[in-house]
Chain A
Amino acid sequence: MATATFRIWRGDSGGGAFRDYPTEVSEGMVVLDAVHRVQAEQAGDLAVRWNCKAGKCGSCSAEINGKPRLMCMTRLDTLNLGEPVTVEPLKAFPQIRDLVTDVSWNYEVKKKIKRFKPRPPDAADGTWRMQQAEVDRVQEFRKCIECYLCQDVCHILRDHHLHDAFIGPRFLLYNAALEMHPLDNEDRLQSLKDREGIGYCNITGCCTKVCPEHITITENAIIPLKERVVDRFYDPITRLFRMLR
């Protein structure tokens, strides 16, 4: 059985350091398996958040060799095991201990987003009618597992710490899922522009690159929302048409 070294960050909000853990690895293992082996054999107090081990719960988000990824979906045979594999906690959120960060800011943000507000029912029995083509677009957004890797890689949160002014790609995606829903009647454009700070996004596309569900966040969610904001606030011709209608 081969040996690989995992350079894992150990510490809490007060500070910490990387520590090297050489451990045995075998075919088919993912980074989370190796971290569990380190935890079982060398560092019983290593804090790591995980749950499904299948890339669906979004719990084991971390930075592996500097890239935000799910530990359970990162196979060791995709990494160079000839040098230490670094495993760090997410950088956009406060650290609790070792690989665990406090992501509760995301839950608070989500609470403030305007809820789904369906139009009056289409039928007398209180039900609605919508076509498959209409929900196909928002279906992509509903694949999100809330791993917050997109929030972590977004430089507006990660480097500029504008958590008070910008809600991040995850919640722009959430807004898009509601705003483009064929039944929804709520108006979110004012809050997107002012409170949720969509203008801060400079479309680097990093959120799309790290999404483990391969959601095209920038192209299909954020840019269409930006265009809707332009319709309302920055395009005088569209405004004129709206006034004349």
Chain B
Amino acid sequence: MAERVIPLLETRGFGQTMRRDAWWGQPLLTFVILGAFVVYATWAAFQGEHYEYGPYLSPFYSPLLFGAGPHSWFGPWARPAWWPGALPFSAALLILWAPGGFRFTCYYYRGAYYKAFWADPPSCAVGEPRKKYLGEHSFPLILQNVHRYFLYLALLFLVVLTYDVWVAMWFTDPATGAQRFGIGVGTLVLATNLVLLFGYTFGCHSLRHLVGGRLDQFSRHPGQAKVYGAACRLNGHHMRWAWGSLFSVALADLYVRLLSMGVITDWRIL
């Protein structure tokens, strides 16, 4: 018998594990992509310009409650008197908290960012940096239970974004000033974003529960059972919808921004 004595790793500290795979890869990727999105979205939200071009409106600024452009609901806006002077103000700040809150409290993102940003745990079967643990049992994370209320708001945003895609199909003829139906690359960008947001929102765990998951006897509610089945099918790919719609919403803003800045040209398909 060839014996070699190796001390047992009794108490595993931060990052210690016997795993041999690249366990750090997934949380690192989450950290980089989610972090980059938050930085970009914050930057874009504070710009207060280049959020619309022709019939296109950036999803970061929709609904445009106050603004100088044609998409504005209530006309030009004035900076509120209570707003801190040193802080730039933009129309996005009035509305972005709602979709932002929906993603922040999303069950999928919670599991992902607890690992990537808080190392709680860094990955499965990997040592943690902290000994104290409260989870979502106490304040502040017990507030994550507000998720369904952000869902209700997200559903309203889907209605608005659907209207935006409809508006993005009507182009003003520069010669006559008349509105004509058309489809540009921007229309497809906004429509793709809408489809991905629908997939993400309708596969939400809270929505799945509310439309039928709360029931035990489906046979008494056949209609709800069908809706629940559809929500389950979307929910089975919730992670993909979450990432896909995260990319699409940022790309849609970037596309409209670059058009507005004159960096790129929008190609008309129809």
Contacts and interface: CB of A to CB of B under 8 A. Distances in A.
| A and B: interacting chains | yes
Interface of A: 7, 9, 11, 15-22, 42-43, 63, 65-68, 80, 83, 86, 88, 91, 130-131, 133-134, 153, 155-156, 158-160, 162, 165, 179-182, 184, 197, 199-206, 209-210, 218-219, 223-224, 226-228, 230-231, 234-235
B135 A201 contact: yes
B173 interface: no
B122 to A, nearest CB: 10
B8 A11 contact: yes
Interface in B184-223: 205-206, 208-210, 213-214, 216-219
A223 B107 CA distance: 8
Given A17-B6, A204-B121, A235-B148, A219 B205 contact: yes
Contacts of B19: 65-67
B18 A206 contact: no
A199 B137 contact: yes
A156 B3 contact: no
Contact of A202 (B136, B148, B206, B213): B136
Nearest to A233: B145
A17 B120 contact: no
Given A155-B121, A199-B136, A202-B114, A231 B17 contact: no
A209 B4 CA distance: 32
Given A210-B124, A224-B209, A231 B214 contact: yes
B204 to A, nearest CB: 10
A227 B217 CA distance: 17
* Most chain A CB within a 10 A radius of its CB, from B17, B114, B120, B135: B135
A86 to B, nearest CB: 5
A200 B136 CA distance: 5
Given A203-B110, A223-B205, A21 B1 contact: yes
B7 A17 contact: yes
Contact of A159 (B6, B128, B137, B142): B128
A63 B124 CA distance: 12
B20 to A, nearest CB: 5
A88 B214 contact: no
Contact of B124 (A19, A179, A204, A235): A204
Given A134-B217, A134-B219, A200-B133, A20 B225 contact: no
A160 B131 contact: yes
Contact of B2 (A11, A20, A199, A228): A20
Contacts of A197: 137
B106 to A, nearest CB: 10
Contacts of B210: 227
6 contacts: A19-B4, A20-B3, A66-B19, A130-B217, A224-B209, A234-B145
A86 B18 contact: yes
B135 A227 contact: no
A20 B128 CA distance: 28
B39 interface: no
Interface string B88-127: 0000000000000000000100110011000011001101
Nearest to B5: A17
- Measured as residues with beta carbon below 8 angstroms from the partner, the interface class of chain B is 35 or more
Contact of B235 (A17, A201, A219): A219
A66 B125 contact: yes
B176 interface: no
A49 B35 CA distance: 45
Given A184-B216, A203-B110, A155 B209 contact: no
Contact of A205 (B7, B20, B111): B111
B136 A19 contact: no
A15 B7 CA distance: 10
B135 A200 contact: yes
Given A18-B5, A66-B125, 14 more contacts: A9-B8, A20-B4, A133-B218, A156-B133, A156-B135, A201-B135, A201-B136, A203-B114, A204-B124, A210-B124, A219-B205, A219-B238, A228-B214, A230-B147
Contacts of A130: 217, 219
B115 A204 contact: yes
A88 B135 contact: no
Contacts of A200: 133-137
A182 B217 contact: yes
Contacts of A223: 107, 205
B8 A18 contact: yes
Pick the 5 closest A-B CB pairs, nearest first: A66-B18, A199-B137, A66-B19, A206-B124, A227-B209
